[in-house]
Copies of this chain bind each other. A is one copy, B any other.
Amino acid sequence: MGAIHASNLRRHPGLVLAAVSVSDPDRAARVAAELGAPVRPRWEDVVTDPSIDAVVVASPTEDHAAQVVAASLAGKDILCEKPVASDLESALRAVRAAREAGVLLHVGFQRRHDAAFAGLRDEVLAGRIGEPWLVRICSRDLEPPPAHFEGACGGLFVDMAIHDFDMARFVLGQEVVEISSYARVLVADRGEADADADADADVAITTLVFESGALGVIENCRQSSPGYDQRVEIHGRAGTLSVDNQPRHGLVHADSAGSHRQAWPHFFADRYTTAYAAELDAFVAEVRHRRGGPAPAGPPGVAATGDDAVRALELSFAADRSARQRQPVVLPLDRSLE
């Protein structure tokens, strides 16, 4: 993720990538060459450097909260990769630190910056389909993450579905008041799964109830042979909006067996190339605006805030609890969210 952000930063004339923090000395030289920026071993030196206006947090999840807090105290604007923390308490602490320091905090839910999903939300909020009744989000990865990551990442709901919980709130502009999840181990080898009581679920269906009574459903799967599968559909009184997967390019091959199109992009970095660039553009525009630049173009409320990040994380934990306890969970969870 750091490499993606650095590459997108280069596209902004007048913006300087002042430093990159890489703790591993073996990787430092290579990163410096690739990103064309000086490398510092201690991230604390970066976030407190008075010559720096803003930081991008793309470190391992366990460091996010501490780095956001430190950057907030140092008065830096922050773009933090999701999740802000791996537990709700730390996430709340980080978000509060940013709020109290008055710094900008954007969280990396890059799908909000995808033109199709953003366009869908614009139409919903503009009333183009009237009152929304049903939301469907489908999110499937090409293949499961490596085993060592799977253990560390918090499971299907916290690692993967968190994007979908954020998407649900984003496109509907409403909070979720109840959640009910079913999760199963189907992709992983049965033998292993049986042997390992902690086996992470890899297929899930989650039902959401929104404030207005609208219903939502999220389908997740860790494996999708046709490629990375990312769809959203909203059905309302006056129409239906949908964003489907697009093939890599427009070539169609027709023969006696039928017609054949290219597969979808396989990985998030391909599917969301322009969304990541737009996410960074939105952050840079806001940072410049806070320093006297022009107001950012585009509709407000696209970039995910700290509060958005906390609520998505809360939904992830609620879904996980619902799946384990086999019963619906009412939101908000018992927390002191200000």
Query: Residues on A close to B: CB < 8 A?
Result: 10, 13, 34, 36, 114-116, 119-120, 123, 128-129, 131, 133-134, 136, 138, 140, 180, 182, 184, 186-187, 203-205, 207, 209, 213-217, 219, 221, 223-227, 229, 235, 237-263, 326-328
Q: Are A248 and B115 in contact (CB-based, < 8 A)?
A: yes
Task: Give the docked Cα–Cα distance between A98 and B28 (Å).
Answer: 44
Please indicate the chain B residues that have their CB under 8 angstroms from the CB of A133 in the complex: 186-187, 203, 221
B residues less than 8 Å from A120 (CB atoms): 251
A221 to B235 alpha-carbon distance, docked (Å): 9
Query: Shortest CB–CB separation between residue A334 and chain B, in angstroms?
Result: 20
**When the two chains form their complex, are residues A238 and B255 in contact, meaning their CB atoms are under 8 A apart?**
yes
Known: A203-B133, A238-B225, A239-B226. A263 touches B253 (CB 8 A): no
Closest to A206 in B: B207
Q: Roughly how many angstroms separate A34 CA and B133 CA in the complex, as a whole number? A: 41
Q: Is the CB of A242 within 8 A of B237?
A: no
Q: Determine whether the beta carbon of B182 is less than 8 Å from that of A134.
A: no
A259, B229: Cα distance in complex, Å: 12
Q: What would 25 A/B residue contacts be, using CB atoms closer than 8 Å?
A: A114-B249, A123-B251, A128-B253, A129-B253, A134-B205, A136-B136, A140-B235, A180-B182, A180-B207, A182-B209, A225-B237, A225-B240, A225-B254, A226-B255, A227-B256, A240-B254, A241-B251, A241-B253, A242-B254, A246-B250, A254-B263, A256-B263, A257-B263, A259-B260, A327-B327
**Known contacts A237-B225, A240-B224; is-contact A251 B116 (Cβ 8 Å):** yes
Q: A17 CA to B308 CA in the complex, in Å?
A: 43
Contact B249 A115 (CB under 8 A): yes
Expressed in whole angstroms, the minimum distance between the Cβ of A215 and any Cβ of chain B is 5
- The smallest C-beta distance from A302 to any residue of chain B, in angstroms, reads 15
Interface residue from B219, B227, B253, B262 paired with A136 (Cβ < 8 Å): B219
Cα distance, A115 to B250, chains bound together (Å): 9
**B residues in contact with A186, CB < 8 Å:** 131, 133, 213-214
Residues of B within 8 Å of A205, CB to CB, are 134, 207, 215-217
Give the residue of B134, B180, B257 whose beta carbon is less than 8 angstroms from that of A219. Answer: B134
Question: Does the CB pair A134–B262 fall under 8 Å?
Answer: no
With both beta carbons as reference points, the residue of chain B lying nearest to A35 in the complex is identified as: B13
Contacts known (A203-B134, A235-B140, A326-B328); A246 close to B246, Cβ less than 8 A: yes
A253 interface neighbour in B123, B217, B247, Cβ under 8 Å: B123
Closest to A119 in B: B251
**In the complex, what distance in Å separates the CA atom of A332 from the CA atom of B206?**
23
Please name all residues of chain B whose beta carbon is closer than 8 Å to the beta carbon of A13 when the two chains form the complex: 34, 36
The answer for the CA separation of A238 and B238 in the assembled complex, in Å, is: 27
Chain B contacts for A257, CB-based, 8 A: 260, 263
- A140 neighbours in B (Cβ, 8 Å): 235
Known pairs A123-B253, A225-B239, A253-B123; A215 contacts B259 (CB<8 A)? no
Q: Which 3 A-B pairs have the closest CB atoms?
A: A239-B255, A226-B254, A116-B249
Contact B253 A239 (CB under 8 A): yes
List the B side residues contacting A114 at CB < 8 Å: 249
Of B203, B209, B328, the contact of A215 (CB 8 Å cutoff): B203
